[in-house]
Structure 1
């Protein structure tokens, strides 16, 4: 079904990784590095490296800060958070908009980043025994902590992206329960701008195709998610983790956004990102328009702090004019 006009959006993006060091040990993660206990920020991304990456993607309006996590009580937490702030400021100075996904944040940390980032993100991932098993060595992925983060973002008025990691052994009821929790939090605070439905894909040298039965099940879930979530909440599917030949079916089921697209998916490097040109051509043949957007969706721009709002409004106007 089409909940909106035949338009699907995407965010031209460049990814900066402040650090891959992370105290969580998720069973499936190929992104993290074991941090050096003496210097967990030994691999920290410096300004010069960040500027080089930004220069390599001049058309990217979104700067995704995707970071490994330092424990809240660590003596290195202040330096880690300072890097997030510095890279957010650098992105703004370069005429871009940062979007940070760096795990759970304290209220003070989230409020500070919310003055620099027009949107923040944290995957709920899911609930139920399958996720409990995957996250048994990941202290910051306890369900109650993730839900508290979503509520905290709502209380602070921060436009927020969350999502589910699908296909790890969870039941359909687990999936429904997670979507209903997100809908409930959004009903209270109105801050969830998009929900990512992310198929789990195993790491490896080469990506594995998504089985046909999994595609069918996910198409059913997309339609169910569209019924559960309020119409203003966008539904996102990462196009590199989904078969191109079934992409239109996913849009017809309720997907209306393809997320931030960089040249490489740093979390899932075995699954190449399609180019915007290839996506646009494929979708146009089926009557769909691929339209670029900012990291904050239009309906949430008005609630940003004044300086960020003015910047986002100006950028959205230029984007609408095609330049």
Structure 2
């Protein structure tokens, strides 16, 4: 089954050209089934790039997916056209009465701020609490995952002396987990962050760590009590995303006073002139496909029964 997207959304043509099955409203209406309703709360500045990345992953399953794009109500996007936001995004306050089978909360480039100093923190914590009554399963990504685990469990984030940036090997700590079905014993994952959450503090909160790296710490954490997963790294990244970030930092948009390091274990031979290979794509599809499958297996047919 394809993923349902507005035909005018840029992701529609991008994914169709990649061979991902997509469909518009008319085709979806002819299928007499209930699609899984998945929302994307997009906190990233490059909205369209992020839409493509997550739609690609959650649309690659045999199930019909209806994707809804959500934004913070008062926060204004500065890197995406206002027309795009107006046409495709709904503010959170407009979806509060809706129910969703799944929700992805993306990262945001605001790691240097304390959580409480983020301008939309109050509304975001409202989102977190709302997921417990209106969302069957939530996937918090990078800063979004750190913010959610902090809200529910008080686990702090810690600033790093240098940016963790590159492709790092991670170990499979829970091969029996349905979320890691088909995973290798170890795998490569892109990392790009200035903060970390520490293994002892996550374990003290009673949360199982599913993927972990000796170099960069916990990567995937399950929170069964809140029907949530938290991933602190970026399996959704395209092959060239780290390269784009590296070029951007070199051009002068880096954190003030920070040295610009090449992404670790990314360019062949550490040569930025060479095209970096994608070594995480299969595990990205596995993880998000497993998440969608677990939602399908356990979500109530009547969405109003979520959280009851």
Q: Give the TM bin, normalised by the shorter chain.
A: 0.3 to 0.5
| TM-score in terms of structure 1 length | 0.35
| TM-score in terms of structure 2 length | 0.36
Higher strand share: 2
Q: Which has the higher contact order (CA 8 A, sep 6+)?
A: 1
